[in-house]
Amino acid sequence: MEFIQDTEPDIKKPIIIAAMQDMGNVGSIVIDFINDSLKTKTFRISKSSNPTYVIDKGGYIELPNESWEYKYTEDLIIFGGGKGQPQNRDELNELCKDVINIAKKYSAKFIYTFGGFHTNRIFNNSPKTYITTTSIELTKHMQRLNVDTTPHKSIITGFNGLILGFAKMNLIQGIGMYGELNNPAIPQYRAAISIIKTLEKLTYRKFGDISSLKMNAQETERKFKN
């Protein structure tokens, strides 16, 4: 991985919000929404050193631009979004370590991450968001706030799970939020909306008008229903 930092944001003890594209694009939808809504500014870029695929444009190939941005505003650092995440385990670990290093550099005490929660439960247009945390004590506190915790044991792969492990190893508290979805192959805007509402509840702040996400959800549902 290559890391490029052009500016030094004047922030201290921010909340870190970090997630990458996963099933249903949930992590990317939430991150991109927050960045657009809060008009965040880029201060650091991470780039993959080696491509994990090429793009066939129909007779010729192009290399993908695999890069992810760190952005900031007031007391927040937002990382990720966009398309994809490293498929190489070493690069994925290196990226998680860099997020932790940024958290330490700016004295961040908390990391939130997001993703999809694949379920067969029929939830119509109201998916739940399940959370898991970096400690039993933090989970008990979340339960007192009437937040749903993950209902069973499982393995969480990829950045949106692994970053919690790196946070725990470095004594940084973290919460993973995973929105229910039935079909991981299509963008899941309602799962993203559910996560945003849960994030607002836990952070006591608003992240923006979600009407555009509702419109995207309706358009996606019409498209794939037909």
Q: 130-167, pLDDT tens digit by residue?
A: 999 999 999 999 999 999 999 888 888 899 999 999 99
Distance CA 48, CA 133 (A): 28
More confident residue, 225 or 13: 13
If you write DSSP's letter for every residue of 162-193 in order, what string do you get? HHHHHHHHTT-EEEEEEEEES-TTS--HHHHH
Distance CA 102, CA 105 (A): 5
The per-residue pLDDT for 226 is: 61
In order of their start, the domains of the chain are 2-225 (3.40.50.10900)
Distance CA 128, CA 177 (A): 10
How do residues 3-30 score in pLDDT, each as one tens digit? 999 899 999 899 999 999 999 999 999 9
Q: Provide long-range contacts, Cβ within 8 A and 24+ apart, for 196-200.
A: 196/30, 196/33, 196/34, 197/129, 198/129, 198/131, 198/147, 199/17, 199/30, 199/112, 199/114
State whether residue 116 is helix, strand or coil.
strand
Provide the token pair at 66.
């695999």
Distance CA 117, CA 179 (A): 5
Q: Where residue 127 falls among pLDDT bands split at 50, 70, 90?
A: very high
Distance CA 118, CA 130 (A): 11
Cα–Cα nearest to 156, from 169, 165, 168:
165
Distance CA 42, CA 39 (A): 10
Distance CA 67, CA 61 (A): 19
Tell me how many degrees the CA angle 66-70-9 measures, rounded to the nearest 5.
150
Q: What percent of the chain has pLDDT over 70?
A: 100
How do residues 159-181 score in pLDDT, each as one tens digit? 999 999 999 999 999 999 999 99
Distance CA 157, CA 144 (A): 28
Residues 6+ apart with CB under 8 A from 96: 159, 162, 163, 165, 166
